[in-house]
Amino acid sequence: MLLLSLASPLLLAWPAAPQATEPPFHLELPAGYGAFESSPEYPGWWLSRHQELPAAFTVRHELIAAAGADAGRLAEQRRRDYWTPGLSKVTARIEPWTGSLAGAPAAGSVIRTQAQDQDRIIVERFQVHLDHLIALTWEGGPDGYAQAQAVLDGFRPPPDWRPAPLELDSGRGGGPAPLASPGHFQIVFDAATEKQDQQVWVTVLFQAAPWLAERGKLRWRIPGEAELVELELDQGVCRIEYPLVHGSDPHRAHELGLAMDRSSLATAQVSLWLAAPALDELLEHPERQVTPPSWQLEARVPAHVTALSAAPADSVSLDQEAGARVIQFPGVASGAGWPFVIMASLAREEVAGLTLMQRVGAKSRDADAPLRFLARVQRALEARLPAAAEGTWAVTSFPATGDRVLPGLLLLDEERGWLRQAIDQDWGQAGSTRRRGLAELVVSRAFGLRLRGSGSAAPFLETSLTAYLAQALLAELGFGDEAEAVAESWRQHDAAAGPLPAPLSLLPRTDLLGPQRLLGRGPLVWQAIERRAGRKRLDAVLGGYLKRGGFWTTEELRAGLEGATGDSWEEFFRLHVYGRKAPPLD
């Protein structure tokens, strides 16, 4: 790859002396560029330099570990982790780019900066086909930018850089089993320190589970620390205290897993703000899930605000010396969800049996209609699957958090307008409205929170199942035309997208950000399961696993269907879940 250097216009990070070889790809080079040279150390890396100007093209092809990775996220990570810190001391503008390479979706960046008082432009484009990554780069001056774009638009990869589709999942939706809970977290989230507008202090008292306590020492990932920190366990216990220094900057807060709005704060990304032991097992299987720990939380917030977590507070007191409100929340059992807290000025309202904890100043007009619909969907789900019944849960909203289904709380992203747009407004797929989105949020409280998928087929057991059930509930609630329009959009999307690149059981979650076959073919397969098993039998299977909770796999689903129907489901799963064949539509 080409790297900018302040000392010279171009600095080539090439692993060994390049060799002139005929490249396997097609790229029509402009006048002045030399033939492509390959790296003997890294097959698949190619370079063409301009013979007079400080400019060059590179082409890279390699296999990656995460099959089906999303090119947009790859480019975003590259901008965040490489270009932004690398150009922090110079004037630079880094812009996202999306488009296509050889007719297939691609993503990348355009970086504009200076070197030796000359304007420079770097263009990066990424494309992923299953486990194959193609990366194109051009670097040069503004005069060559338009021509370079045209050259990159004409790139044609060799056929073997686009692998043949995966025909069959030999692992049958399997994978490493989820790790047991790492232990118990006792957390103090202190946003009421003397510099509470600049930072948050987090204290964690950690009691390791027996399987982890026997190690004696644990390496920890602590927010703000570049290196892992090794800590001794005293009878399985250790204590960590650290600041989250956000400086009242929403962008910096986001990097720490926090969402910020005026005096409000939400812990949106637990993996960023909470210190946690670095588990060696995740190095060998980075896709392996971890069972959420048990935890208990105390929030210390400024006296004029309050806080929300997984359940109503056990106690609220005032620390007059510190000017802080101290809120103690009840403990959460292992497996129920990861820690979170929302700090804001909140107004409480009861609507249709649901509690709305509305942030003062939130972007909302009339929350009554969406809350009443959420309650209707929950009642319909409980009527169909009694195991989906749960105690009281609250609804709140916050900007820039994403929609999050949490234990005891549904957190809605204010930017998506759930509480200020009419629920019959067009939303998502053709013919569907915001009602469908709200229904999916309710269903995902059961499938995705209470019962989670395990193995490579987890997205099929969560997202595809949620889409199918939400559509069915719409029909039961009297919105038959909308439900049929949603089903028709699935059929049209699946037909237009062509054959699956891999079985449903191997499609990664990143599919939801791109092709979205999990939201087209996935619910169609669930509909076919219902037609073959019958709704009552399918509901009995779903209800049984939901009552048990925890994790389940597609093989457990198959076994449950065979037990409920008395028939073999081996061929159905081989064709439609572990294979690429579309299900029958009637």
Give pLDDT tens digits for 242-296.
999 988 888 888 889 999 987 789 998 998 999 999 998 888 787 788 999 999 9
* Fold category of 2-159 in CATH: Protein Transport Mog1p; Chain A (3.40.1000)
Whether the pLDDT of residue 20 is over 80: the answer is: no
Q: How far apart are CA 121 and CA 2, in angstroms?
A: 11
Residues 6+ apart with CB under 8 A from 489: 429, 430, 431, 432
pLDDT of residue 7: 27
* Percent of the chain whose pLDDT exceeds 90: 66
Average pLDDT, the chain: 89
DSSP secondary structure letter of residue 300: E
pLDDT of residue 68: 62
Averaged pLDDT for residues 422-431: 83
Whether the pLDDT of residue 559 is over 90: the answer is: yes
Cβ-contact 243, 224 below 8 angstroms: yes
DSSP secondary structure letter of residue 7: S
pLDDT of residue 9: 30
Question: What are the tens digits of pLDDT across the range 43-53?
Answer: 789 999 999 99
Averaged pLDDT for residues 178-188: 96
CA-CA distances (angstroms) from residue 150 to 32, 372, 402, 472, 515?
16, 53, 37, 48, 26
pLDDT range class, residue 207, cuts 50, 70, 90: very high
Q: What tokens appear for 384 in the block?
A: 């169909």
DSSP secondary structure letter of residue 194: T
Residue 136 amino acid letter: L
Whether the pLDDT of residue 323 is over 90: the answer is: no
For 181-343, CATH gives 2.60.40.1730
H or E, element range at 494: helix 480-497
Q: How far apart are CA 374 and CA 380, in angstroms?
A: 10
pLDDT range class, residue 523, cuts 50, 70, 90: very high
Q: How far apart are CA 385 and CA 365, in angstroms?
A: 33
pLDDT of residue 16: 47
Q: How far apart are CA 4 and CA 489, in angstroms?
A: 47
- Count of other CB atoms within 10 angstroms of residue 170: 10
Q: How far apart are CA 25 and CA 477, in angstroms?
A: 55
Domains 181-343 and 434-576 share a fold: no
Whether the pLDDT of residue 8 is over 70: the answer is: no
pLDDT of residue 92: 92
Q: Hey, what CATH class is 434-576 in?
A: mainly alpha
Averaged pLDDT for residues 326-351: 93
pLDDT of residue 47: 92
Whether the pLDDT of residue 12 is over 50: the answer is: no
Q: What is the pTM of this model?
A: 0.79
pLDDT of residue 89: 84
Residue 305 amino acid letter: V
Whether the pLDDT of residue 6 is over 60: the answer is: no
Whether the pLDDT of residue 141 is over 50: the answer is: yes
pLDDT of residue 132: 87
pLDDT of residue 224: 84
Cβ-contact 352, 372 below 8 angstroms: yes
Buried/exposed code over 501-534 (b: 16+ C-beta within 10 A; e: otherwise): bbbbbbbbebbbebbbbbbbbbbbbbbbbbebbe
pLDDT range class, residue 581, cuts 50, 70, 90: very high
Question: What are the tens digits of pLDDT across the range 51-87?
Answer: 999 999 999 998 876 666 778 888 988 998 899 888 8
Domain residue limits, the chain: 2-159, 181-343, 434-576
Closest by Cα among 383, 381, 430, 390 to 408: 390
